[in-house]
Structure 1
Amino acid sequence: MTENVERLRAEIRACLPKTLPSRLGVAVSGGSDSVALLLLLNEIAQGAQVELFAATVDHGLRPESEDEARKVSTLAAGLGITHQILKWKGWTGDGNLQDQARQARYRLLAEWANSNAISAIALGHTADDQAETFLMRLGRAAGITGLSGMSNERNMNGVTLLRPVLGVTRQTLRDYLSGERVDWIEDPSNQDLRFDRIKARQALIDLAELGITAKSLTRVAENLAQAREALERFTQESARKIAKVETGDVCLDRVAFQTLPKEIQRRLLVGCVAWIAGQGYPPRQTSVDQAVKAVEDGSATSIGGCLLVPQANKMWICRELNAVQGETVRPGELWDRRWILSGDSVADAQIRPLGEEGLPRVPDWRSLGKPRKVLLASPAVWRADELISAPNAGFANGWSAELAVGTPEFHSSFLSH
């Protein structure tokens, strides 16, 4: 058993960054996967001068959840690891419960990490989770990006998410815990066939006779991840050749765009939208295909909170006014999750979109060479009904608009991180 444990520990260490952060977080639900990860990382951390911190998100969806979170606290305390319970109180009973819980979990973990100077969080996703994700996405006719599954490492709100057991099966981790005589919590929702993930879990059992297992599907996802990386680099190089950025908007060469393979066209458009409107769920395939056709035809359309505005042989991609119409902040605060406006002190100044009301008050906007619709959603400084500044529309008046710190450079944004 000792040899197996050493092999497992070495496998996990190989999936972590070569140089570990001095303060490393671990998300622990109390289930077998995350409990095993906590114990194994504790062993790794002790020999690498790494301070380990643990957090449990209590979604408050079951009466037992609070007690289960306290059990994780007790386990962590026994290991000498600082632990914190993060409570979610945002469920209203509407929408997709699992999706909202997942988003809340990541948000709470990122906030916890940022407030504790923790640069990276390890998550207990296993090969089984990867395989289940693959099957669910296969059922939705996902493309290469979707089928390549979860990545070993990615950035979220300034925090690096690590998945060092993504190549390890759940059963392997449970065998390890059994050998260590450590218990874990069984979530009853893991038996609830109303959830797609549990259906996929059951399907894996049925598919095992065909050799379709968590390990084999994880390998397929890894192969597709390599293909995805190649496509991302091709898309990045294509963007360098046919796209230029002007004050946060993207201008495409329509003629050159039409020479690209369809897959690269789609990726290029989705990447532009994500860079302008922010990362989130990518637009539906039908919306992307409609946008590709709009570029080819030179017609206007909207997608993912952005507008596509034709201009001769160009296609401008910009923020959609409706998406930011009600957004108002004070100078120096983040506007539309990407812009910071600063300048001379003006009493009662507000940052809000330039809009139809403001554009006629900018005398030289036409000299920029942009269609008027491209400028409508640009940030502007207002005092009541008085336009003070519209830096991106050519009316600076002592003010500047800068992309927020941490905003990726446009062309590098096409690569997964």
Structure 2
Amino acid sequence: MPGELIDSEAIFAPLAAFRRVGLAVSGGPDSLGLMLLAAEFAGRHAVHDRFIVYSVDHGLRPEAAGEVAYVTEAAGKLGFAARALRWEGPKPTTGVQQAARRARYGLIADAMLADGAEILVTAHHLADQAETVLMRLAHGSGLEGLRGMDYFADVAGLVVVRPLLDIDPADLARLVAGSAFRPAHDPSNLDTDYERVRWRQLLPQLSALGLDSRRLSRFAERMRDADQALAQLAAATATSLDPATGTRKIARAVLARLPRAVATRVVAGLLDDVGGRQKPHDLQPVEALTDRLRMEPALKRTSLHGCLVSSDGVTIVVVREAGRKAARNSRVRTEPPVTRN
């Protein structure tokens, strides 16, 4: 039984406020485990109609159509409604996983809107979190990135919930092994052309040195706490906005008095606001710009993240760089693609 390995009540009871819940199920051991946990919870509370399963065929492997069909059949046996979705049209030759991820969430979002589902639950787990933290550390992320994946996230306007982030994938695999269902295995999860796979294969060696998934997850939690503290301090720092031009200003003396980490967060926020909230970047250039703004008496215009930044020694001014289009959507906390769940 699922409850002997993982407490389904702890997974789904916190989502009671949502009237209809989507489950992202690819057919792999992680997402099949998620569906089995949902079935146990739904059976205990007689709420099968609250759940609907979504499975996407990306059209990248001939086996995928059969895997999706298997998922929908399994969902029916467990008492759930299910939708089989397919990514149609030409596929990119590069950035395939990222494009597939965007397509998957887009297809599911459209289906959820039609079905009245409010949130999408995914099977991202403890090892996925560890891989994400390692990748972001390697990419030079600051606290905002090192906090890893959040329990709740907004992905292109879709509310995604990850209740298994503290669950060992080995327990999910054991749960599925003890069921009547057989998991699919995507060969891309072993393809070392993908960075995430390389980190995944390195995890056992890191674990042997004491840096296992659980420690990396705790590290992410501490980074999340620190990130929230920095965000509050940065939000309390006075800046001004010219609504007509979108120009932002801050007194150089104010920036100079702040601790470096808070000052860097303030500058990053100014660049986000003016530049149109582009995707997150390596933190090092923002740190370098912040140091210059704090230490140099004046700064001629310099460009970063779609913005022109200057200082006359008294006031720091951030304006949008000419020719840059600003996407005014709110920041989506994105993660490197995970395809195995």
Amino acid at match of 2:37: L
1:88–1:104 contact (8 Å) kept in structure 2: no
Does the C-alpha gap of structure 1 residues 118 and 254 become closer, same or farther in structure 2, counting only changes over 3 Å? Answer: farther
1:301 alignment partner in structure 2: 302
1:29 paired with 2:22, answer: no
SS at match of 1:322: coil
> Once superposed, which parts of structure 1, at least 4 consecutive aligned residues long, lie more than 4 Å away?
309-312
1:124–1:163 contact (8 Å) kept in structure 2: yes
Amino acid at match of 2:120: I
How many equivalent residue pairs? 326
Deviation at 1:45, TM superposition (A): 4.2
1:283–1:303 contact (8 Å) kept in structure 2: no
SS at match of 1:258: helix
Over aligned residue pairs, what C-alpha RMSD do you find?
Answer: 2.8
Deviation at 1:162, TM superposition (A): 0.3
Q: Distance in 1 between matches of 2:90 and 2:232?
A: 39
1:80 paired with 2:77, answer: no
Instruction: Output one character per residue of 1:145-199: Cα deviation in whole Å (capped at 9) or x when no partner.
Output: 2222111112234332100001001110111112222211111112222222222
Q: What does 1:191-202 align with in structure 2 at a 5 Å threshold? A: 191-202=190-201
1:366 alignment partner in structure 2: none
Deviation at 1:81, TM superposition (A): 1.4
2:140–2:282 contact (8 Å) kept in structure 1: no
Deviation at 1:263, TM superposition (A): 1.5
1:328 alignment partner in structure 2: none
Structure 1: which 5+ runs fail to align?
Answer: 325-335, 339-406
Instruction: Output one character per residue of 1:91-142: Cα deviation in whole Å (capped at 9) or x when no partner.
Output: 3213x33333333333333333344432211111000101111222233343
Q: Distance in 2 between matches of 1:44 and 1:319?
A: 51
Instruction: Output one character per residue of 1:333-355: Cα deviation in whole Å (capped at 9) or x when no partner.
Output: xxx544xxxxxxxxxxxxxxxxx
Q: Distance in 2 between matches of 1:12 and 1:198?
A: 27
1:271 alignment partner in structure 2: 269
TM-score under structure 2 normalisation?
0.84
Q: What does 1:3-402 align with in structure 2 at a 5 Å threshold? A: 4-5=4-5, 7-13=6-12, 16-17=14-15, 19-45=16-42, 47=45, 49=47, 51-78=50-77, 79-87=79-87, 89=89, 91-94=91-94, 96-238=95-237, 242-247=238-243, 248-293=246-291, 295-296=293-294, 297-310=298-311, 313-324=314-325, 336-338=326-328
Q: Distance in 1 between matches of 2:108 and 2:271?
A: 26
Does the C-alpha gap of structure 1 residues 300 and 207 become closer, same or farther in structure 2, counting only changes over 3 Å? Answer: same
- Identify which of structures 1 and 2 has the higher relative contact order when contacts are C-alpha pairs closer than 8 Å and 6+ apart: 2
2:239–2:250 contact (8 Å) kept in structure 1: yes
Identity between Structure 1 and Structure 2 (%): 29
Does the C-alpha gap of structure 1 residues 109 and 43 become closer, same or farther in structure 2, counting only changes over 3 Å? Answer: same
Instruction: Output one character per residue of 1:195-242: Cα deviation in whole Å (capped at 9) or x when no partner.
Output: 22222122112233333322222122112211221122122222xxx2
Amino acid at match of 2:248: V
Does the C-alpha gap of structure 1 residues 112 and 322 become closer, same or farther in structure 2, counting only changes over 3 Å? Answer: farther
Does the C-alpha gap of structure 1 residues 250 and 293 become closer, same or farther in structure 2, counting only changes over 3 Å? Answer: same
Instruction: Output one character per residue of 1:28-55: Cα deviation in whole Å (capped at 9) or x when no partner.
Output: 1111111211221233345275621222
Structure 2: which 5+ runs fail to align?
Answer: 335-341
Q: Distance in 2 between matches of 1:53 and 1:162?
A: 14
Amino acid at match of 1:4: E
TM-score under structure 1 normalisation?
0.70
Amino acid at match of 1:252: I
Amino acid at match of 2:281: P
Deviation at 1:90, TM superposition (A): 5.4
1:274–1:282 contact (8 Å) kept in structure 2: no
Does the C-alpha gap of structure 1 residues 179 and 146 become closer, same or farther in structure 2, counting only changes over 3 Å? Answer: same
1:394 alignment partner in structure 2: none
